[in-house]
Protein backbone atom coordinates (compact mmCIF):
# COMPACT_ATOMS: atom_id res chain seq x y z
CA UNK A 1 0.00 0.00 0.00
CA UNK A 2 0.95 3.65 -0.20
CA UNK A 3 3.11 4.80 2.69
CA UNK A 4 1.10 5.70 5.79
CA UNK A 5 0.74 9.42 6.26
CA UNK A 6 1.62 10.26 2.66
CA UNK A 7 -0.51 12.93 1.08
CA UNK A 8 -2.43 12.00 -2.06
CA UNK A 9 -2.02 14.35 -5.02
CA UNK A 10 -4.78 16.83 -5.79
CA UNK A 11 -6.69 15.66 -8.84
CA UNK A 12 -7.64 18.28 -11.40
CA UNK A 13 -10.82 16.72 -12.79
CA UNK A 14 -12.59 16.08 -9.51
CA UNK A 15 -11.88 19.46 -7.99
CA UNK A 16 -13.35 21.66 -10.70
CA UNK A 17 -16.79 22.98 -9.97
CA UNK A 18 -19.18 21.83 -12.70
CA UNK A 19 -16.23 20.40 -14.64
CA UNK A 20 -18.44 18.50 -17.08
CA UNK A 21 -20.33 21.65 -18.03
CA UNK A 22 -17.30 23.94 -18.27
CA UNK A 23 -14.84 21.81 -20.22
CA UNK A 24 -14.95 20.34 -23.68
CA UNK A 25 -14.24 16.67 -24.19
CA UNK A 26 -10.57 17.18 -25.09
CA UNK A 27 -9.96 19.18 -21.91
CA UNK A 28 -11.69 16.53 -19.81
CA UNK A 29 -9.58 13.75 -21.37
CA UNK A 30 -6.44 15.82 -20.82
CA UNK A 31 -7.40 16.32 -17.16
CA UNK A 32 -8.13 12.61 -16.71
CA UNK A 33 -4.79 11.73 -18.30
CA UNK A 34 -2.97 14.12 -15.97
CA UNK A 35 -4.82 12.77 -12.94
CA UNK A 36 -4.02 9.13 -13.71
CA UNK A 37 -0.36 9.99 -14.29
CA UNK A 38 -0.27 11.74 -10.91
CA UNK A 39 -1.87 8.74 -9.20
CA UNK A 40 0.49 6.24 -10.86
CA UNK A 41 3.48 8.34 -9.85
CA UNK A 42 2.20 8.58 -6.27
CA UNK A 43 1.49 4.87 -5.85
CA UNK A 44 4.81 4.04 -7.48
CA UNK A 45 6.65 5.93 -4.75
CA UNK A 46 4.71 4.39 -1.90
CA UNK A 47 5.06 0.71 -2.53
CA UNK A 48 2.50 -1.94 -3.27
CA UNK A 49 -1.00 -1.28 -4.50
CA UNK A 50 -3.55 -4.03 -5.17
CA UNK A 51 -3.04 -5.44 -8.67
CA UNK A 52 -6.55 -4.70 -9.95
CA UNK A 53 -6.26 -1.03 -8.92
CA UNK A 54 -2.90 -0.63 -10.61
CA UNK A 55 -4.17 -2.41 -13.74
CA UNK A 56 -7.24 -0.15 -13.88
CA UNK A 57 -5.12 3.00 -13.59
CA UNK A 58 -2.85 1.79 -16.39
CA UNK A 59 -5.87 1.03 -18.62
CA UNK A 60 -7.20 4.54 -18.02
CA UNK A 61 -3.77 5.98 -18.80
CA UNK A 62 -3.64 4.06 -22.10
CA UNK A 63 -7.20 5.05 -23.00
CA UNK A 64 -6.68 8.75 -22.35
CA UNK A 65 -3.36 8.73 -24.21
CA UNK A 66 -5.07 7.12 -27.22
CA UNK A 67 -7.91 9.64 -27.10
CA UNK A 68 -5.45 12.52 -27.02
CA UNK A 69 -3.53 11.12 -30.01
CA UNK A 70 -6.68 10.22 -31.98
CA UNK A 71 -9.52 12.63 -31.15
CA UNK A 72 -13.01 11.48 -32.03
How many degrees, rounded to 5, is the angle at CA 41 between CA 18 and CA 51? 95
Is residue 5 domain-resident? no
14 pLDDT exceeds 60? Answer: no
Q: Which domain holds residue 25?
A: 12-69
Is residue 4 domain-resident? no
- The reply to whether the predicted model has a pTM over 0.85 is no
Domain count, the chain: 1
Q: What is the mean pLDDT of the chain?
A: 78
Tell me the residue length of the chain: 72
Per the CB < 8 A criterion, the answer to whether 28 and 18 are in contact is no
11 pLDDT exceeds 90? Answer: no
**In the chain, what percentage of residues exceed pLDDT 70?**
75
What's the confidence (pLDDT) of residue 15? Answer: 46
- Nearest-CA neighbor of 35 among 17, 56, 66, 57? 57
The rounded Cα 14 to chain-centroid distance in angstroms is 10
- Across 20-45, average pLDDT: 82
66 pLDDT exceeds 90? Answer: yes
Amino acid sequence: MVAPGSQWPALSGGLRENSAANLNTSDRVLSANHDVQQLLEHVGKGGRVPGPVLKYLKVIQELTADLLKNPM
